[in-house]
């Protein structure tokens, strides 16, 4: 579990780095929608969901980045962070009928 949390924190640190701006997905009156127009939008949503989970779990940005040097060089953390996004994307793809419509 500690490795998963570390990987998630690493993912958030990498994704929040100033490389590109990912638009926040639109929310419905019931909450965040998993429905997207394209697979690319679905992948962006998967990243947003991963980031939100991490920042909700650890809202203190200073604590969030404290261990960055350690987990940013750990291949297992990188793989675990990728798995979080992949699982989110898998859920979003299923919700969108794999964009077959």
- The predicted-structure confidence for 68-82, as pLDDT tens digits, reads as follows 888 889 999 999 999
Position 18 scores a pLDDT of: 37
Residue ranges of domains in the chain:
2-16+35-99
Ordered DSSP codes for 79-96? HHHHHHHHHHHHHHHHHT
The number of residues in the chain equals: 101
pTM, rounded to two decimals: 0.71
Cα gap 48→33, rounded to integer Å: 12
pLDDT at 85 over 80: yes
Contacts for 5 with CB less than 8 Å, ≥ 6 apart:
57
Position 32 scores a pLDDT of: 84
pLDDT at 49 over 80: yes
């Amino acid at each position: 579990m500690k490795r998963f949390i570390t990987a998630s924190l690493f993912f958030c640190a990498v994704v929040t780095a100033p490389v590109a701006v990912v638009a926040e997905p639109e929310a419905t009156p019931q909450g965040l929608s998993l429905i997207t127009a394209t697979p690319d939008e679905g992948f962006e949503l998967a990243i947003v969901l991963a980031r939100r989970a991490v920042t909700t779990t650890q809202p203190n940005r200073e604590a969030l980045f404290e261990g960055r040097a350690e987990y940013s060089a750990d291949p297992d953390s990188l793989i675990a962070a990728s798995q979080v996004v992949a699982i989110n994307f898998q859920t979003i793809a299923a919700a969108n009928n794999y964009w077959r419509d």
